[in-house]
Structure 1
């Protein structure tokens, strides 16, 4: 299944929806005790996801509605059962507004220098201990959003296409062979980075945690739809030019290895977002360098998940 936090035009509160093709089903319109967001759904465990599958499975493809303000709190006839076939309203996704695909994560962990090509172009070492840092939650933003930054603070803002991994249950002391069993789902992340700040400070959290510097989405895809996270293709399109074009098979440490290593020292709580590193092709390494500028549009795509677009403004 594919989940997104969406809003009808004029709404301020995002609502959890299932996305099927070009339409979305708001869960609070079809379930009496609908999860309020993705974190809530993850914390409900397998039973919560099963309830959602049951409710949405009652929908018929032909049922649709316009983008007018829906009646919030519409319920299914029985508390935990799906509504009757054909009664689930479907909203065109094109008429809705996205929020970050990940809201209220337990934490956001980022992995640096996890592709040899990217590590080399930034003159970083990837063969020693894994580089780990935190991203601040204020940096999370949506597909289609505009990210801004002050010109007097940074002039070297770069893109980084990354696979995002969402943990589904507490992971502690997990062996790599079992690690993917702890994954709830996957999303697209653009780990936007102020390079001039990155290379002037010893720690990387601030340079990557400006407001809006961690777009996620447009959806979170449940793990059952991604048989092997090391067989996905990532691309970055900046103003019509392909800047990054690589496979997750090129990771120095696989998704399973990352989860295993992180879980050795601390429990990874459900809902944690792990951004797993970026391949080569960063703007900083190009000659001349290519940075995001006022009016830039950057789209990060991952096969099997979707395309995440960010608009840029310098203030």
Structure 2
């Protein structure tokens, strides 16, 4: 994937913000993901217990920008979308809560699986009407819809593009619904041998295999 940048939006679902006890009232939480973190469908997610023992899953809708977007309005924002895909925004929770930024905890090698396909925007008339599920070793851990986003895809593009041109190929990961492993009792973190599948209605299923780093 030749994305010029991968942008991730945090806390874009109330349930997820609440389960992490984090505030999402001040506006979109935006950060970038390193390109080395990108992975493919049926790819491997390397896990090093020396670095983190609290690696979590986050199923998310991915948006691919199709043409330069700057200062666009929410009403026209979807005209700049090339297509949609599935993302698993894998996160080292212990590092996330230790450091004042979120890029590193989500940017280890293979921590951003994406795919299996990009569905063009004309095939997704309403990106806010898609069911999203995540399964960990066959256990359904997330089951929601993109309709629960606090800020819609169009609103996100409009906000991010203010005085900052979004280049073609830019990927925006739009946030994850509730059901994170950290919030379960006991917590459900990823381990070598774990299989994670994120499925979004109308797009497809993205499967990742956790391995020892």
The TM-score range, normalised by the shorter chain, is over 0.9
Measured in 2, the distance between the counterparts of 1:120 and 1:241 equals 22
- Deviation for aligned residue 1:127: 2.0
**Aligned: 1:224 with 2:122:** yes
TM, length-normalised to structure 2? 0.99
Q: Identify the residue that residue 161 of structure 1 maps to in structure 2.
A: 59
Q: Determine which of 144, 152, 155 is the counterpart of 2:42.
A: 144
Q: Is the 8 A contact 1:236 1:298 kept in 2?
A: yes
Match of 1:244 in 2: 142
Q: 1:142·1:217 contact (CA, 8 Å) conserved in 2?
A: yes
Aligned partner of 2:203 among 295, 305, 313: 305
| Runs of at least 5 residues in structure 1 that lack an aligned partner in the other structure | 1-102
Distance in 1 (alpha carbons) for counterparts of 2:25 and 2:77: 21
Q: Matches of residues 124-139 of structure 1 in structure 2 within 5 Å? A: 124-139=22-37
- The structure with the largest alpha-carbon Rg is 1
Q: Which sections of structure 2, spanning at least 5 residues, go unmatched?
A: none
Mapped pair 1:197 → 2:83: no
Residue of structure 2 in register with 1:266 after alignment: 164
Partner of 2:113: 215
Contact 1:126/1:252 (CA < 8 Å) preserved in 2?
no
Query: Across the two proteins, how many residue pairs are aligned to each other?
Result: 213
Checking the alignment, whether the CA contact within 8 Å between 1:144 and 1:311 is kept in structure 2 is yes
Task: Give the structure with the higher percent strand.
Answer: 2
Work out which of the residue numbers 220, 227, 235 in structure 1 matches 2:133.
235
Q: Which has the higher contact order (CA 8 A, sep 6+)?
A: 2
